Amino acid sequence: MNQEAFNMSCGQTELTEKCKRTLGKDVITIYSPPFWQMEEEALALLQEFLGTKNEIIIVFGTGTSGIEASLNSILEPGDRFLIAHNGMFGEIMSLMTQAAGAVPVKVPFELGTPVDPGVIAVALDKERNLKGIGVVHGETSVGVANPLEEIGQLARERNLLYVVDAISSFASEELRVDDWNIDLCVVNGQKCLGAPQGNTFVSVSPRAWERIRGRRERIRGFYMNLLACKDYLNMARTEQKNWAAGGNKFEFHLEEAPHPASPSFVIIQGVWASLKQLKEEGLERSIARHEIAGKAVRSAVKAMGLGYICQDDRYADNAVSAIFLSNGIEDYQIRKQLFEQYRVILGDANMMSWDVYKSQIGRNYVRFGTMGEAARYHKVLYAIFAFGMALRDLGADVDVERAMSAAQCIYKEEEAL
């Protein structure tokens, strides 16, 4: 079958139309005005969409690299770092904290429930000598969007650095970096933005830079190091001034690297194009589109008699629904059937690698992504139909027609508002 698959996974997602058209253009050097202009426009758009005046730093790697570079840069051996923990990516943040030589102070929450700022406040009152707080915004392993604003206020009151993993939530959930006192906010293009994977972006507050430069020891790591990443931008911006001046009029000081690593032209070009498309659509409309798509999926799931891991729809992630399967069907069975018979790709249950999942959930769930281009009416409706039919094929008694009607009702209700 030659038909392309509907990518309803949880990343890497389908590229936007503007991104696909732009990636067909030739590669140019990153040491010339066309690239500099594109890079600066992309960084300015990221500032706008994140609601921040903070500097945006490029980290050369996947979303995980942005989290690790941030933690490496602020944490020193023995530092204690509190982590709100209600899913796999909170666990990963804990492991990266350990890798930096610091001590993760986990505040656990039941899987499927959101982080509770009140519980965080109690933990902060008990703990002493903390360096900061880490929260995953869109915890895609369970389909929960965690509240951020109140935790940011708690962090600021206690003079703690606030680190947010917004890799999956950017462009699908409200995110206001400055208003919510976020010191390091990590975003990526491969999820709801619909851009290529490979460069990650970190919003870094002046408070965070002050703490980073006030370290007792140098940052562990040459590559996963925000100062080294900042060196690249300092060098590039000085080159731009020298180009405009027509000579070597300006010198630049590198804090960490004799020659810093540089970003991929192709990836920056793709991110720039998807950011331009987001600007055309409007951030609020993008968030609303994701919200409606997520509601439609959850409504269809209920109509099929199924449930999902998120226990409170008020905190359901707009970008992913983690759906429990029926009749002993496991994730590999349903995903194989969906791909081979209906050309639909869903996210898997690979979070099983975490012991907590093995004991509490097992393999009987699948993650239905509504990220980026997947959060479009026709794709959502077809994927719901295919999901229901695949369940039927595997012996489940589900009402596909009722599920389709439930999803369509969500779209009609939203249109009427």
One domain for residues 209 and 262: yes
Domain with 320 in it: what CATH number?
A: 3.90.1150.10
With residue 404 as reference, give the H or E element that holds it. helix 400-416
Question: pLDDT truncated to tens, each residue of the chain (417 aa)?
Answer: 455 899 999 989 999 999 999 998 888 888 899 999 999 999 999 999 999 999 999 999 999 999 999 999 999 999 999 999 999 999 999 999 999 999 999 999 999 999 999 999 999 999 989 999 999 999 999 999 999 999 999 999 999 999 999 999 999 999 999 999 999 999 999 999 999 999 999 999 999 999 999 999 999 888 899 999 999 999 999 999 999 999 999 998 888 877 888 889 999 999 999 999 999 999 999 999 999 999 999 999 999 999 999 999 999 999 999 999 987 898 889 999 999 999 999 998 766 556 766 667 777 889 999 999 999 999 999 999 999 999 999 999 999 999 999 999 999 987 765
One domain for residues 255 and 119: yes
Closest to 97 measured CA to CA, from 75, 113, 115, 119: 75
CA distance 329 to 332: 9
One domain for residues 31 and 143: yes
Query: Within a domain: residue 11?
Result: no
- Are the beta carbons of 383 and 366 closer than 8 angstroms? no
Tell me the CA distances in angstroms from 204 to 151, 213, 341, one per residue in order. Answer: 18, 13, 46
One domain for residues 328 and 381: yes
In the numeric block, which tokens belong to residue 392?
């039927």
One domain for residues 287 and 232: no
User: What is the per-residue pLDDT for 221?
Assistant: 83
One domain for residues 77 and 215: yes
Query: Within a domain: residue 9?
Result: no
Give the residue from 234, 251, 280 where a domain finishes.
Answer: 280
- This model's pTM is above 0.85: yes
Query: Within a domain: residue 6?
Result: no
In the numeric block, which tokens belong to residue 225?
């190091």
One domain for residues 265 and 294: no
Question: Could you tell me whether strands 161-165 and 184-188 are parallel, antiparallel, or unpaired per DSSP bridges?
Answer: parallel
Q: Is the peptide bond before 197 cis (omega within 30 degrees of 0)?
A: no
Give the residue from 250, 280, 310 where a domain finishes.
Answer: 280
Query: Within a domain: residue 190?
Result: yes
Query: Within a domain: residue 31?
Result: yes
Closest to 82 measured CA to CA, from 137, 123, 125, 139: 123
DSSP symbol at 314 = G
One domain for residues 101 and 235: yes
List Cβ neighbours of 190 (8 Å cut-off, separation of 6 or more).
Answer: 11, 12, 13, 62, 63, 196, 197, 198
CA distance 373 to 18: 12
As a residue count, the chain comes to 417
Domain with 137 in it: what CATH number?
A: 3.40.640.10
User: What is the per-residue pLDDT for 1?
Assistant: 40
The alpha helices in 158-225, defined as continuous H runs, are 206-213
Give the residue from 280, 301, 325 where a domain finishes.
Answer: 280
Total domains in the fold of the chain: 2
Q: What is the pLDDT of residues 315-353, one digit of tens each?
A: 999 999 999 998 789 888 999 999 999 999 999 876 655
Range of the domain at 286: 282-416
CA distance 140 to 185: 17
- Are the beta carbons of 148 and 135 closer than 8 angstroms? yes
Query: Within a domain: residue 369?
Result: yes
One domain for residues 237 and 213: yes
Q: Which residues of 79-103 are buried (b: 16+ CB within 10 A; e: fewer)?
A: bbbbbbbbbbbbbbbbebbeebebb
Query: Within a domain: residue 112?
Result: yes
One domain for residues 350 and 261: no
One domain for residues 269 and 291: no
User: What is the per-residue pLDDT for 128?
Assistant: 84
User: What is the per-residue pLDDT for 306?
Assistant: 96
User: What is the per-residue pLDDT for 403?
Assistant: 98
One domain for residues 146 and 65: yes
In the numeric block, which tokens belong to residue 10?
């949880």
Query: Within a domain: residue 10?
Result: no
